[in-house]
DNA sequence: CTGAAAGCGCTAACAG
DNA sequence: CTGTTAGCGCTTTCAG
C-alpha cells in the first residue's frame, strides 16, 4: 500500500532507523509509522486515539491524516496487555438458541458497544462441567467484566470467578448468594403469582410443565412457586400433575396430552415457557378443547407468540431487555470505579392476563 | 491464597529475585511463578499448556501440580500478542434477536469452542455506516477469522476486511463477488421455487410481503425471485400485491390485511419470514378465511413455528446450523493453512410443502 | 526435550 | 501539551 501524503503534510522523517511499513511483510502499519508520518511521537498517536482531549487539535489532525493515509488499524491486543484493560465483557448463556437469552444479549451488546466495549459470547450447555470449562478459558482472555445467565455455579467455578477480581453480574434468577452482582427477578414469586391467578380464575385441577429441573434452578424455582400457590390455597399438590419436557411447540402439545392422560379432569395447565404454552394451545385447537372454558392455558416470559395466538396467552412478562441493559450499566459503572453501584436489582415481573385463562 | 505444595513436589526456588505471587497486589499468578514452583523454565510451562507433546511427562506433571496449587490462569492477551494469534473469530450479524441468525451462531460457536477458539459477537444494525464502524473496531482486536451475516459490505468496508488478511466467510446469500469465502444458499432461487409451488397449486393472485429491502439485499433477492416466478408463468406482476413490513406476528396479519384491501381477490400470500406467515395465518383464523382453500399461506426459513400451527405452514427450509458449522470449518481450515478449502459452498434449500398451500 | 534471549505493539508513569 | 523510558506476560526463535 502506498502512502499518499496530503500536500503540505507535517511529515518529518527524523529517524528512519525502523523499516517502513511497506518493507514489512503483510504491510501492517504500526503506531510508530503513523507517528513518524504525523511528525509526532507514538504516545501522542496513542493519546489522540484514546484520550483526544489531552492532545492539541494540531497534533490530532496530523494523526488523523496519517491514519487515513496509511489505513492504520490499531492493535488492541497490544494495548490491552499494556493497559491491563481489554474493554471486553464476557457473557455466558446456556444457549444462543433460546430467544429469552437473546433478548437480554441484544440490549447488553448495544449498551457495551456504545461505550467501546465488546462482547465475548459463549454457550455453557446445561451441565456444571461444561460451564466450568468455558468460564475457565474465558477468564484467560482477561475480560474486564463477566455476565452469567444460567444456573448457580459450582463452588469451584464460583471461586475462580471471584479470584478474577472483575465485576460479575448474574441475570438468571433472584438468588440469595450472588457471586458479586445480580439483576433479575424472582422465578419463584412469578410462578406463584401466575398460579395464584389461575386459582382466582376458578381453575382447581392445574397441571404444570417445565424444562427438566435437574440442572436448572430457575425451573426448580418455578416449580416450587407453583406448588406454594396451590398449598396456600389449600389445593392438593400431586406429582402426577407435574411433567418435565424439552422446550418446543410439539413438546408443549405432548406435555398437555400426557397430563390429560393422568388426569382427565385437568382444567388448566401452567407451562413454564410460552412456546410450550402455545404448543398446548394448538393441541387444544386440534382436540376440540375450548380455551379458556374447557382448559386454561398459561405461559411464561411473554414472548411474541404469547400475544399472537388466538386466544392470546396469559403469561408472566419479564423485562429481558432491561436485564441486559442494567447488567451492562452495572459492569461499566464498576469498571469506572464508581462506588455507588447497586449490587442487587430486582427488575420485577408482571402477570399479563389475556384470553387463555 | 496459600500454595499448598504436594508432598515431594519438585519445587526448587533457585532464584527468588522476583516477588512471589502472594506479594503482588491482586495475587495474580504469572507463568514465571508456576515455572519456579514446578522447577522448570517459563517456556516449559508455556509448552506444557500449548504443545504438551513437546514436554516430558515428568515436567508436564510438575507443571500441572504447580498450576493446581496456585490457581494460575494464563493470560491469553499476552500470548496473543507474542504469537500474533488471538484464537478469536469475530462474527457480525444484523441483530441477535432474529432466531434465524441465532441458529447459525449456535453451531458456529460450538464448532469454534471445540477447537479452542472463541467468538466475539456484534450487532451491525441495518445500515452500512453502523456496519462499517463495528467491523472497524472488531478488526482492531485482531481476530484470526471473520464471519459476516448481512448485507453486501460497502466498498470501503470491504477494502478494510481484505486488508486484514484473515479468512472471511459471508453467510447471508449466495452472491457473485464474495469478499473471500461464502457459505449460503440462493435467496433468489428459493423464493422463486416457493412461488412456483404456489402457482403449481393453482393460486393465481399471489401477494408478497417481506422486510424492507432498502438496506437488505436478501429481501431484494427474494422479491426478485417471486417476480421471476410469476413472469415465467405468464402471470401479471403488480406492485400493488407487494408490501414491506417489519417482522412480527402482528405485522404479518397486518400485511395480509393491507394486501387484501388492495386486492380483494388475492388467493395466496408468500410472506418472506415464517413469523410473518404465522401472523397472516392467525389473521385468517380470526377473519374466517379457510387456509388453504380461501387463502394459501407460505413462509420462509422453516422455523419451529411453521410446523407447529394448524394448518402447518408451507415454507422454505434452510440449513442454518449447517451454515454456521461449515463457516467455522472453513475459517479454521484456512487458519491451519490447509489449501484445499472450498471458497464457495451452496448449502441449498428445500421446499417443505405442508397444509397451508 | 529444555532453556536463554529477544521481542510482540502498545501504554503507564513520570518528567519536561 | 508532549516525549522518554520501561515494561505488560507471554511465545518465538535459535541453541544446546
pLDDT digits (tens, 9 = 90+) for B235-285: 999 999 999 999 999 999 999 999 999 999 999 999 999 999 999 999 999
**Contact call for residues A349 and A189 (beta carbons, < 8 A):** yes
B64 pLDDT above the threshold of 70: yes
Q: What is the reported pLDDT for A1?
A: 32
**Contact call for residues B97 and B275 (beta carbons, < 8 A):** no
Question: Alpha helices of chain B — where are they, by DSSP H?
Answer: 31-38, 42-50, 57-70, 76-83, 99-114, 128-139, 155-164, 187-200, 217-232, 249-262, 274-287, 320-335
- Per-residue pLDDT of B280-311, as tens digits, reads 999 999 999 999 999 999 999 999 999 999 89
B102, B119, B122: residue with CB nearest A109: B122
Find the angle CA(A69)-CA(B136)-CA(B110) to the nearest 5 degrees.
Answer: 150
Quick one: CA torsion of B189, B191, B192, B197, rounded to 10 degrees? Answer: 120
- Per-residue pLDDT of B173-199, as tens digits, reads 999 999 999 999 999 999 999 999 999
Q: What is the reported pLDDT for B337?
A: 87
| pLDDT, averaged across chain A | 91
User: Quick one: fold of A19-70?
Assistant: 434 Repressor (Amino-terminal Domain) (1.10.260)
Q: How confident is the model at residue B2 (pLDDT cuts 50, 70, 90)?
A: very low
Instruction: Phi first, then psi: give them for residue B297, nearest 5 degrees.
Output: -125, 130
Q: What is the reported pLDDT for A5?
A: 33
B18 pLDDT above the threshold of 50: no
Residues sharing a CB contact under 8 Å with residue B307, sequence separation 6 or more, in sequence order: A249, A250, B313, B352, B354
| pLDDT, averaged across chain B | 91
Task: State the nearest Cα–Cα gap between B53 and chain A, in angstroms.
Answer: 20
A93 pLDDT above the threshold of 60: yes
A106 pLDDT above the threshold of 60: yes
Instruction: Enumerate the domain spans of chain A.
Output: 19-70, 88-185+320-347, 187-317
Q: How confident is the model at residue B6 (pLDDT cuts 50, 70, 90)?
A: very low
Spell out a b/e string for B299-322, using b for 16 or more CB atoms within 10 Å of the CB, else e: bbbbbbbbbbbeebbbbbbbbbbb
Fold matches, A88-185+320-347 and A187-317: yes
Residue found by looking up cell 411453521 in the block: B306
Question: Alpha helices of A288-351 — where are they, by DSSP H?
Answer: 320-335
B75, B120, B165: residue with CB nearest A120: B120
pLDDT > 90 fraction of chain B, expressed in percent and rounded: 86
Q: What is the reported pLDDT for A21?
A: 43
pLDDT > 70 fraction of chain A, expressed in percent and rounded: 92
A337 pLDDT above the threshold of 90: no
Q: What is the reported pLDDT for B10?
A: 36
Residue found by looking up cell 433477492 in the block: B221
B350 pLDDT above the threshold of 70: yes
Nearest residue to D9 via alpha carbon and C1': B78
Q: How confident is the model at residue A7 (pLDDT cuts 50, 70, 90)?
A: very low
Q: How confident is the model at residue B163 (pLDDT cuts 50, 70, 90)?
A: very high
Q: What is the reported pLDDT for B5?
A: 33
Q: Does B120 contact A122 at a Cβ distance shorter than 8 Å?
A: no
B333 pLDDT above the threshold of 90: yes
Mean pLDDT for the stretch of residues A270-274 = 97
Residue of chain A whose Cα is closest to the Cα of B75? A140
The angle that helices A57-70 and A42-50 make with each other, rounded to 10 degrees, is: 100
Measured between alpha carbons, how far is B31 from B34 in angstroms, rounded to an integer? 5
Chain D positions with any atom < 7 A from a protein CB: 1-5, 7-13
Mean pLDDT for the stretch of residues A39-49 = 94
Q: Is the CB of B84 under 7 A from strand C?
A: yes
Instruction: Phi first, then psi: give them for residue A297, nearest 5 degrees.
Output: -125, 130
Å from B221 (CA) to C12 (C1')? 53
Residue B203 half-sphere exposure toward CB, CA atoms < 13 A: 29
Q: What is the DSSP letter of B21?
A: G
> Which residues of chain A make contact with B305, given a CB cutoff of 8 A?
249, 305
Q: What is the reported pLDDT for A13?
A: 33
Nearest residue to C13 via alpha carbon and C1': A83
Hey, of A67, A77, A274, A320, which one would you mutate to test binding to chain B, going by the most B CBs within 10 A of its CB?
A77
Q: Does B304 contact A160 at a Cβ distance shorter than 8 Å?
A: no
With CA atoms as reference, report the closest residue to A207 among A283, A296, A294, A286: A296
Q: What is the reported pLDDT for A126?
A: 79
Write down the pTM of the prediction.
0.90
Q: What is the reported pLDDT for A292?
A: 95
A19 pLDDT above the threshold of 80: no
Mean pLDDT for the stretch of residues A167-191 = 96
With CA atoms as reference, report the closest residue to A301 among A98, A105, A95: A98
Å from A137 (CA) to C4 (C1')? 29
Task: State the nearest Cα–Cα gap between B230 and chain A, in angstroms.
Answer: 31
Measured between alpha carbons, how far is B253 from B259 in angstroms, rounded to an integer? 10
B146 pLDDT above the threshold of 70: yes
Q: What is the reported pLDDT for B136?
A: 95
Which cell numbers in the block locate residue A35? 507517528
Mean pLDDT for the stretch of residues A329-354 = 94
Q: What is the reported pLDDT for B27?
A: 61
Find the angle CA(B208)-CA(B191)-CA(B195) to the nearest 5 degrees.
Answer: 65
Q: What is the reported pLDDT for A341?
A: 86
B345 pLDDT above the threshold of 50: yes
B86, B97, B110: residue with CB nearest A77: B86
Measured between alpha carbons, how far is B9 from B30 in angstroms, rounded to an integer? 19
Chain C positions with any atom < 7 A from a protein CB: 1-5, 7-13
Tell me which CATH code domain B88-185+320-347 carries: 3.40.50.2300
Q: Does domain B187-317 have CATH number 3.40.50.2300?
A: yes
Distances from the Cα of B58 to the Cα of A53, B41, B48, B62, B182, angstroms:
55, 14, 11, 6, 46
Nearest residue to C2 via alpha carbon and C1': B44
Q: What is the reported pLDDT for A11?
A: 35
pLDDT > 70 fraction of chain B, expressed in percent and rounded: 92
**Contact call for residues A207 and A263 (beta carbons, < 8 A):** yes
Residue found by looking up cell 511528525 in the block: A39
69-108 of chain A touching strand C, CB 7 A cut-off:
74-75, 78-79, 81-83, 85
> Which residues of chain A make contact with B134, given a CB cutoff of 8 A?
113
B7 pLDDT above the threshold of 80: no
Mean pLDDT for the stretch of residues A207-211 = 97
With CA atoms as reference, report the closest residue to B171 among B246, B87, B107: B107
B91 pLDDT above the threshold of 70: yes
A26 pLDDT above the threshold of 70: no
Q: What is the reported pLDDT for A27?
A: 61
Q: What is the reported pLDDT for B300?
A: 98
Nearest residue to D2 via alpha carbon and C1': A44
Q: With residue A268 as reference, give the H or E element that holds it.
A: strand A268-271
B116, B142, B165: residue with CB nearest A77: B142
Measured between alpha carbons, how far is B104 from B327 in angstroms, rounded to an integer? 9
Which cell numbers in the block locate residue A274? 410460552
32-51 of chain B touching strand C, CB 7 A cut-off:
40-41, 43-44, 47
Amino acid at each position: 500500500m502506498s502512502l499518499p501524503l496530503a500536500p503540505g503534510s507535517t511529515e518529518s522523517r527524523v529517524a528512519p532507523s525502523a523499516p517502513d511499513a511497506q518493507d514489512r511483510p503483510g504491510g501492517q502499519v504500526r503506531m510508530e509509522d503513523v507517528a513518524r508520518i504525523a511528525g509526532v511521537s507514538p504516545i501522542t498517536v496513542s493519546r489522540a486515539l484514546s484520550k483526544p482531549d489531552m492532545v492539541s487539535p494540531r497534533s490530532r489532525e496530523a494523526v488523523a491524516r496519517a491514519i487515513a493515509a496509511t489505513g492504520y488499524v490499531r492493535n488492541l491486543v497490544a494495548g490491552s496487555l499494556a493497559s491491563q484493560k481489554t474493554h471486553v465483557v464476557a457473557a455466558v448463556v446456556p444457549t444462543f438458541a433460546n430467544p429469552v437469552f437473546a433478548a437480554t444479549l441484544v440490549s447488553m451488546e448495544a449498551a457495551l458497544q456504545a461505550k467501546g466495549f465488546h462482547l465475548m459470547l459463549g454457550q455453557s450447555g446445561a451441565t456444571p462441567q461444561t460451564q466450568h470449562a468455558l468460564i475457565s478459558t474465558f477468564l484467560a482472555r482477561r475480560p474486564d467484566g463477566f455476565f452469567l445467565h444460567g444456573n448457580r455455579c459450582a463452588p469451584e467455578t464460583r471461586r475462580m470467578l471471584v479470584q478474577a477480581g472483575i465485576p460479575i453480574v448474574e441475570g438468571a434468577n433472584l438468588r440469595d448468594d450472588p457471586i458479586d452482582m445480580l439483576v433479575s427477578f424472582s422465578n419463584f414469586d412469578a410462578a406463584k403469582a401466575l398460579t395464584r391467578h389461575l386459582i382466582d380464575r376458578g381453575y382447581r385441577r392445574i397441571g404444570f410443565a417445565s424444562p427438566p429441573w435437574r440442572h436448572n434452578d430457575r425451573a426448580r424455582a418455578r416449580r416450587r412457586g407453583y406448588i406454594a400457590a396451590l398449598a396456600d390455597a389449600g389445593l392438593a399438590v400431586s406429582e402426577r400433575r407435574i411433567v418435565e419436557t424439552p422446550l418446543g411447540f410439539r413438546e408443549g402439545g405432548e406435555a398437555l396430552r400426557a397430563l390429560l392422560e393422568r388426569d382427565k379432569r385437568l382444567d388448566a395447565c401452567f407451562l413454564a415457557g410460552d412456546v410450550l404454552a402455545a404448543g398446548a394451545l394448538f393441541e387444544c385447537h386440534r382436540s376440540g378443547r375450548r380455551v379458556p372454558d374447557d382448559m386454561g392455558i398459561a405461559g411464561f416470559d411473554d414472548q411474541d407468540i404469547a400475544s399472537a395466538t388466538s386466544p392470546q396467552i396469559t403469561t408472566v412478562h419479564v423485562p429481558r431487555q432491561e436485564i441486559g441493559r442494567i447488567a451492562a450499566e452495572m459492569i461499566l459503572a464498576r469498571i469506572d470505579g464508581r462506588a455507588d453501584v447497586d449490587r442487587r436489582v430486582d427488575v420485577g415481573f408482571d402477570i399479563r392476563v389475556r384470553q387463555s385463562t
